[in-house]
Amino acid sequence: MRPDPDSDDDALRWDGDDDPTLAPGWKTVGKAVPLADAGAAEPADDGAADEEAGESSDDDAPAQTGSAVLIALGVLGGVYLLYTIGWLITAVRTSAPGTSVVSDAMYSLGLWLAVLAAPCWFALALRGTTTTRSRFLWLVAGAVVLVPLPFVLGVTA
């Protein structure tokens, strides 16, 4: 006996999938009930407040980031991660020159600050800039400036 093909399709649906209120892009019709006083619901003014609230909520929502921008941010994030690993290897392998206690401490501090420079630059470029263009300019500038030259040139080996 062969199963009913409609029963197979039922497994892929959820009860209420055809509800039109779930369709994307639809707006709620009617007035909102304030949740502060659940016992005493007050009627809305004249609808002007609802229109203002609707406009401000649309303006406050951040714009979605495109796929190409996300891929570019991922690639640059990977570059910065590799830079951090390169500077970390450099800091672990390199010993201080040994001229004095103060100079050795400053040399070690500089190496560890170099390890932290790439993730800090990446985070500040993402949070500190407002436009996508300036964000990418700062990220590309950091990718050029923060190259772990001692690791690339093999000085630490």
pLDDT digits (tens, 9 = 90+) for 83-132: 999 999 988 888 878 788 998 899 889 999 999 999 999 999 988 877 88
The predicted pLDDT at position 130 comes to 78
Does the residue 38 lie in any domain? Answer: no
The predicted pLDDT at position 88 comes to 92
How far is Cα 81 from Cα 64, in angstroms, rounded to an integer? 25
Tens-digit pLDDT profile for residues 25-62: 555 556 655 555 545 555 555 555 444 444 444 555 56
Does the residue 36 lie in any domain? Answer: no
C-beta separation of 92 from 156 below 8 A: no
> Hey, what are 106's tokens?
């400053």
Query: Which CA distances in Å does 95 have to 14, 19, 111, 121?
Result: 64, 68, 10, 25
The predicted pLDDT at position 67 comes to 85
Q: Could you give phi then psi for residue 36, rounded to 5 degrees?
A: -65, -45
Q: 142 burial class (0-12, 13-18, 19+ CB within 10 angstroms)?
A: buried
Does the residue 51 lie in any domain? Answer: no
Query: If pLDDT is split at 50, 70 and 90, which confidence band does 143 have?
Result: very high
C-beta separation of 77 from 136 below 8 A: no
How far is Cα 39 from Cα 92, in angstroms, rounded to an integer? 65
> Hey, what are 93's tokens?
């392998």
Structurally, the chain folds into a number of domains equal to 1
Does the residue 8 lie in any domain? Answer: no
Q: Is residue 150 over pLDDT 80?
A: yes
Does the residue 14 lie in any domain? Answer: no
Domain of residue 144 covers 68-153
Does the residue 52 lie in any domain? Answer: no
The predicted pLDDT at position 76 comes to 93
Does the residue 140 lie in any domain? Answer: yes
Question: Taking the CB of residue 93, how many other CB atoms lie within 10 A of it?
Answer: 13
C-beta separation of 87 from 156 below 8 A: no
Poorest-pLDDT segment among 66-70, 112-116, 143-147: 66-70
Does the residue 25 lie in any domain? Answer: no
> Hey, what are 104's tokens?
């050795």
